[in-house]
Structures are given as structure tokens and as C-alpha cells.
Amino acid sequence: MGEAEVSHFLCILIKMGEALQNSGAEVFRVEDTLNRIAAAYGAQEVNVFVITSSIVVTLTMPQLPPQTQTRRLRHASGNDLLMLEELNALSRRICAAPPSVEEFQKQLDAILAKRAAPRLRLAGSVLAASSFAVFFGGSLWDGLLAGVIAVLVFWMERCLAPFCMNGVEFQFIASFCCGISTLLFCRIGPQLHADKILIGIIMLLIPGIMLTNSIRDILLGDIISGSLRLVEAILMAAVLALGMMAAIWLMGGIA
Amino acid sequence: MMQVLSQLLSAALGSVGFGLIFNLNRRYLPAAAVGGFLAWLAYLLADHALSSAFLANLLAGFCAALYAEILARCCNAPSTPFFITSAIPLIPGSTLYYCMNAVVSSDLRAAEHFGEQTFLAALGIASGMAIAWCLADLSRKLHVLLVRPRK
């Protein structure tokens, strides 16, 4: 590989790291994968440093000076488990038999081009909210209404989130709207249990995955990234609680 | 008994729901259902036997992580997708809700109680997971040490 080629390879490598991070992988997994791929392409020395908001890779190829590239990650890490699985499979394939850099790029772009079907996401939101409303002791009617509110959450995620300054603001507005609409529905139908329905919705909005991932990061030794994500998760949970509290307070308590 | 059954069933369905939200490979959706079912079953059994919410969460987190690791080895896939979907029913959403409800109605004693419950549950799940990961890591190292050289 020439110097320009190494630079190109490094760019794709970082893209791979970003894709992994955005599909919900732990920092440990991102660093490990990048190290393995670089080693498979014959790197003499690789230094990968990943935190939730940035990736830094320094790569030394034989007979070449070391090169460093950085990428700032601005998107909050989402969750796309199918993409995570495919990226993992790609990394295994590459480590077994490294293809040309162009081929690597082509395969990576093919994985990144796939998008989850929104219909399945909507179905999942409804199913999850209804199930957890029943799970925590609600009746079937409570589950049904939780499903309706889940449609509202899904709509807000698609149409309202782009207008929000950041995730915190969105979380507040979303939980507030859910609280208000649930309590309004419960005024109309007095046999509904507002608390069970709200708990079902909370399970949708609560950053439970972020919390587990952050604890996982900390326990595996990535204390900086873990702490960043932990603070974010606690902030999101607090804002969720604030939004719901505001709704409950405005409506004069649970009817 | 009816209540336990409906809880187990809705835990499984909830895990499938989150599997769909997180775009889990459709082949693994049944595994997610079984994971949610098992995690909650472990919680119920442990809670019944030990009557401590913290220990029950610890054991349930341990079972979920162990299940994910075993399945990941069998399917040659990362363990994260299995773990995330299985642990979903353990997330302390209800205690968080009751905690803030108590804050709004300025019942600080109840708020303290439910806040403590929420924190203990999160800590318990995390500790259970950590123990399972240590065992998984150990078994991986033993595997490398014992199996590879013979090849």
C-alpha cells in the first residue's frame, strides 16, 4: 500500500467504526473490531481510541510514516441490531481473508445503505408499549390505549424530532405530550388505569439500553465513554420524569 | 397463577416488540421472546425464593447475560442483540414512574422508597451481567488455552 492508499483505507476504517458505534455497539467492540481489521491488512501498529463522541485512529504500515485520522461523532448512537450483526460478520470475513480496499468499501456501503422498515418499527413500538402496560398489571384496555399512545410516540420521533434542538428537548416534549394525552383519555374512560398506561410508555422512552451499555463500558474498562453515556442516560431519564411530572401536575394528578 | 402467566407472556411479547424497534434480525425474534420469558421467570423464582429485589435482579440479569452469551456462541453472532432484548423486562420502569408520581404528590417518603428500588434494580442487573461476562471471558480464555493447541 502506498501512502495515499493507506489514507484511503484509514478513512474507510473510521467509517466502519462510526457505523458500529451508531448501530449500538459497545466502545470495547468498536475498538476491538478496528484493531483486528487493521491487523488483517498488515498494519505494524494500530492505536484506536474511541469515545462516544469521537474516534481517533493512528495507523503505522510497514515502511511508511504513521498516519492519524479523527472523526467527530455527532449523532446520538441509535440501535440497529441487524446492522450490528452484519458489520460483525463483515469484520469476521475481512479478518479471515482481507479483500481489496475497494471491495471493503463496497461491502461496507452496501450494509450502510440498508434501512430498517418504518412499519416494523411502528409495529414494535405498539407491541412493546401494550405488552408492558399489561405486564405491570394493566387490563387489556390499558394495553390497547398504550398502543395508541405508542403510535403518537412513533409519529413524534419521525416528524417532531428533526425540529428539536437536541435529544433532551425532544424527550421532554414527547413525555409531556404522552402524559397529557394519556390523562385526557383516562378522563373519558374512567375504567382505564393511567399509571399502567404511562408505565408502558415510559418503557418505550426510558434509555434502558444506553444505561446497560454504559455500565457495560465501565465494567469493561472504558471508563470515559461509559461515564459520558451514563450521564446522558441519567439526564434522559430525569427529563422523561420531568416531562411526565409536568403533565400530571398540569392535569391535577392521576384521576 | 393467571397473573404470573400473563406477565410471562407479556414479557416475551415486549421483548419481541423491542426486537422490532431495534431492527433485530427476524430469525432471532423467537430467541428474543424466549430471552424475555426466561429473564422474567428467573426474576420471579429468585424473588420468591430470596424475597430480595436486589438479589432477584442480580440473578435475572445474570441469566439474561448467560443466555445471550450461549446463544451468541451457537449462532456465531455478537451477544449484544440477544442481551439487549432479553434484559428489556427487567428495566425498572414502574418503580421510576411511582417514584416521580410520589414526588409530584409531595410524598417524599414514598419517593425515597421507590427511588431506592429503581437504583437497586439497575445496580442488581448490572452486577449480574458483570458476573456472567467474567465467566464468559474466562471460558473463552480457557477455550483458547485448552482447545487450540491440540489442533
DSSP B20-59: HHTT--GGGHHHHHHHHHHHHHHHHHHHHHH--HHHHHHH
ipTM over 0.95: no
Residue in A132, A200, A210, A212 with CA at minimum distance from that of residue B123: A212
Q: What is the pTM of this model?
A: 0.87
Whole-number Å distance between alpha carbons of B52 and B34? 24
A244 CB within 8 Å of a chain B CB: yes
Q: Which residues of chain A lie closer than 8 angstroms to B17, CB-CB?
A: 123-131
Give the pLDDT of residue A27: 85
Domain count, chain B: 1
3-state DSSP assignment of residue A138: coil
Q: Do A124 and B80 touch (CB under 8 A)?
A: no
Residue B101 above 90 pLDDT? no
What CA–CA distance (Å, rounded) separates B84 from B65? 9
Q: Which domain holds residue B9?
A: 2-150
Give which of B22, B62, B134 to mutate to test A binding, by max A Cβ within 10 Å. Answer: B22
Would you place residue B100 in the very low, low, confident or very high pLDDT band (cuts 50, 70, 90)?
confident
Please, which pLDDT band fits residue B98 given cuts at 50, 70 and 90?
A: confident
Provide the 8-state DSSP code for A176.
H
CA distance to A5, A30, A43, A143, B35, per residue, from A61 (Å): 11, 21, 5, 58, 44
pLDDT band for position A152 (cuts 50, 70, 90): very high
CA atoms within 13 A on the CB side of A254: 18
Q: What is the DSSP letter of A57?
A: E
CA–CA separation, A196 and B62 (whole Å): 27
How far does Cα A218 stand from its chain's mean position? 17
- pLDDT one-digit tens code per residue, A32-43: 999 999 999 988
Q: Where are the domains of chain A?
A: 3-113, 118-250
Confidence of residue B151 (pLDDT cuts 50, 70, 90): very low
Provide, as residue numbers in chain B, all residues whose Cβ is less than 8 Å from the Cβ of A120: 20, 23
